[in-house]
Structures are given as C-alpha cells and as structure tokens.
Amino acid sequence: MLSELKEQLPAGSAVEYLEKLFEKIEKSRLNAFTSLAKESALAQAREFDKSPGKGLLAGVPIAIKECISTKGIETNCSSRILRGYVPPYDAHVIERLKAEGAIVMGKTNMDEFAMGTSTETSAFGPTRNPWDLERVPGGSSGGSAACVAGGEAPCALGSDTGGSVRCPASFCGIVGLKPTYGLVSRFGLVAYANSLEQIGPLTGTVEDTALLMQVIAGHDWRDSTSAKKGFSLEGLKDGVKGLKIGIPKEYFGEGVDGEVEKAVWNAISTLENLGASWQEVSLPHTRYALAAYYVIAMSEASSNLARFDGLRYGLRVGEDQDWHTTFSEIRSQGFGPEVKRRILLGTYALSAGYYGRYYLKALKVRTLIKNDFQNAFKQVDILASPTMPIPAFKIGERINDPLSLYMADVFTVPINLAGVPAVSLPCGFAGHLPVGLQLMGPHFGEAAVLGAAQAFEEATPFHEARPEVI
Ligand code: GLN
C-alpha cells in the first residue's frame, strides 16, 4: 500500500475516496486531466470494497500520462491527430498495475507527443502549477505531476525522454524517477524518441516511488530493449553512511538561479551531515549534451511520427480528395506547431548529405557523454545536482522562444543520453516555488539513488509541504 494512502484508504472506503478525488478534479482549475475513467474505476473500487485482495497496490487509484496505452480509455498524446483513438490493449506497465490491484482513474495532460518542458504544447491547453496557477507545472508529464502535488491523485505515471518526469516533479515539489533505460518495458508507450525514453513514477514520497517501481519494472519480451532485471526495495533504508557523492562542476554556476543553487547546496550539506562525503567531479562533455539530445530526439521523432496518417485511426479530414492531399491535410491539421517543427528538423538531420553532419555526429557525442558518466562512477557512488536550473516559469513566458525552453533541459537530458537512472525530489524553495534535487546513479543503480533520496527525505520536511490549491 502506498504509504501516504495508508491513512486515507481504510478497508471498504475505496469508492468514497475515489468519489472525493473525482469531485475535486471536476472543480479543479489545474487542467491536469484529459479524461476520467469514472465508470471502470468505480466498478473496480466497489470490487475492492467487497474484497480488498492482496495486490501491492490493491485499491490505489493512479493517474496515467496520455501517451501510455490504456485498453478502452482514449489515448491521444494530447494531440488532435489522435483524438478518439481508443487502444485495444494495455501497455505492459498498465497490465502490471492492474495485476497488483491498482485502479486507473484517468489520463493526464502532457505536451503534445511529450515534446516540451511546460505542458503548454498540449491540444487541451496548458496545465497549471498547483503552487502558483499562473505558472507552468513543467513538462512534458505536467498533468501527472500537478494532479499528485494538487491532491487530485495519490500517484501517477509519466514518461521521461529528456526530463519529462523529473522536470515536472521538480516544478511541482514531488518525487519523480527516470529509471535505467531498459528497466521498465516501453510496450504500449507511444514513442517519441524510443532510444531515450522510459516510463517512471511520480509520487509524494520516495517510498511510494520505490513501491511503484517494484510493480512496473521487469522484463517484457515485447520490448526488445527490455533488460532481464527487476527492481528490489533492498537497501532503501540503509542510509548514506560512507556514500560518496560527486558534484559535477558543469551543473552549477552560470545560468543556475541563485536560490535553486542555494537549496541544492543545503541538500548536499544535509547528506554530508547524515554520513555521506562529497567531492567535485567533471562531466566534460556536458555542454554538447543539449545539441546532441535535440538532434537525436527530433530524428527519432520524425521517424516515429510517420505512422500517424489518420487512415486507420485518429483524425480524419479531407477524405474526398486525392491521397496526397488527404494525407497532408490530416497531418497539417492534426499536429501542433512544436511537433511540426521537430518533424521538419528531424527529417532534415536524417536526410542524405546531412545525416553524417548532424545525426551521426550527435550519436558520437552521445558516446562521449556516456563515457563521462562511466568515468565519474569510477570515483563516486552517485551524483547530485539541481534538476532544473530555474524554478517554474510563467505560462506564456517562454513558449514563443523554443530555444529558451530547450535550454531548461540542460541537466536532465544527459541522463537520457547515457541511459542511467535519476530521481528528482523536493529539497527547498525559491521564493514560493519548489526546488528539485537530482540524484543520478550508474546503470541499474536505482537502489543507491533511491536509498540516498530516502535518507534525505527522512531528515527533511520538504516532502510534507503541499500547495493550497483554490
Ligand atoms: N523537454 C524535452 C523535450 O522537449 C524532454 C521531453 C520529454 O522528456 N518527453 O524533448
């Protein structure tokens, strides 16, 4: 049972609890949900109330990001082109959640096809940050983070291609984990950039994140990149005595908000007081990471999104015209401007003559970045940094300046290029806005990362702070 839920879900009360959440969501100004699965969720809750079952998540409602396939529930990736598409199957993670008794309560808003850092590129309009309704919740899993932080769901799943779980976790003051590439099956996750992304939990506490990982991690033959490994809670309560923490010098200083930096240094001191030691390390190729990430992500996106032609499912327009016109009408009307920009840039980077200059070069940079992490983890157990260089910005402030949005991902994208795990957890405030601490580990080093996060959480009050959402 999720620890936060223990008090809220006494036997026989699942229906009541769920109804309260739905009521809150219906009055909410956050715009965190794109649809609610009221009927199926309440039916499941009634079953739970009759006989609670033994699953690890029995009776626990969970919110699911729009891009994770849910049988019988619309999955549109917050895009016009997929409006009305109802998957005939569940993603692997959904099968696992259901097998443990979790209740899918609805789908959450996101940047269209997960392309963004603010949830503003959604066809459903932006989600608002529960700490300040004028501000973005981060993205692309902004709906998932906002509903958990705003008390509309006890936990959620997001996906992280270049920071999309950690960024909104940081902006909304909750915990979010990007697992090691291959630890969680991507079967049923609508692909944006498949060599980079993983599904990850968004929860109020580290323990809850670990619990969700226990349920969703593990091998799946339907994802060819799925590792033959699971996740165990072992080590979560071992503390940080003797743990060596590396502070990547490239992740501090220029471009980082002063209050963010201060909160993160305070967090490092707390970990030191708990028995860890820290030393400066270098990840020398960090400054090339953003460029390499965006070339790779957009190239993969241009290929992955080629399948959306509106012919078998999704938006249908211009059907009385010839095939070429119909095809381009559907895609012109179906995709928003950011998705179009990325398809165009990605197609360019993969085209004959430019492939070597952009895509291949980006892959070489990716190897250098992976080597940076491998070298760092020869000296230290985990790394610590700010998750985001800035706190949540205002809605509308950056959306017309894509480069300034891309720059905000500077500390999250290297993790995806290297394929290693990283968690974001609340570590303080910049004014009234939460700040996230990012802890990164070696491949399959989730236990070390979450163990340190757990020790920090036990010693600090930040996870208890919740916004007053009106
Ligand atoms: N902000 C990054 C991007 O726009 C990451 C998004 C994600 O992780 N899905 O690509």
The pLDDT of residue 1 is 43
Q: Which residue has the higher pLDDT, 310 or 437?
A: 437
The pLDDT of residue 236 is 85
The pLDDT of residue 73 is 98
The pLDDT of residue 317 is 87
Q: Probe ligand 1: pick from 68, 78, 121, 161, max atoms within 8 Å of CB?
A: 161
Per cent of the chain over pLDDT 90 is 90
Span 446-458, mean pLDDT? 97
Residue 7 has pLDDT above 60, yes or no: no
List pocket residues of ligand 1, CB cut-off 6 Å. 114-117, 140, 160-164, 192, 297, 409
pLDDT band at 4 (very low <50, low <70, confident <90, very high): low
Residue 54 has pLDDT above 90, yes or no: no
Q: Probe ligand 1: pick from 110, 112, 117, 192, max atoms within 8 Å of CB?
A: 117
- Give me the CATH code for the 2-239+443-464 domain, please: 3.90.1300.10
For atom 4 of ligand 1, which residue has the closest CA?
116
Residue 387 one-letter amino acid: T
Residue 3 has pLDDT above 70, yes or no: no
The pLDDT of residue 238 is 86
The pLDDT of residue 139 is 97
Active site residues: 65, 140, 164
Q: Report the chain's mean pLDDT, rounded to a whole number.
A: 95
Span 166-177, mean pLDDT? 98
* 275 Cα: distance to centroid of ligand 1 (angstroms): 35
Instruction: For residue range 139-161, list pLDDT tens digits in order.
Output: 999 999 999 999 999 999 999 99
The pLDDT of residue 8 is 57
Residue 12 has pLDDT above 80, yes or no: no
Instruction: For residue range 233-246, list pLDDT tens digits in order.
Output: 777 888 999 999 99
Residue 46 has pLDDT above 50, yes or no: yes
Span 245-262, mean pLDDT? 96
| Closest ligand 1 atom to 406 CA | 1
Q: Where are the domains of the chain?
A: 2-239+443-464
Instruction: For residue range 189-201, list pLDDT tens digits in order.
Output: 999 999 999 999 9
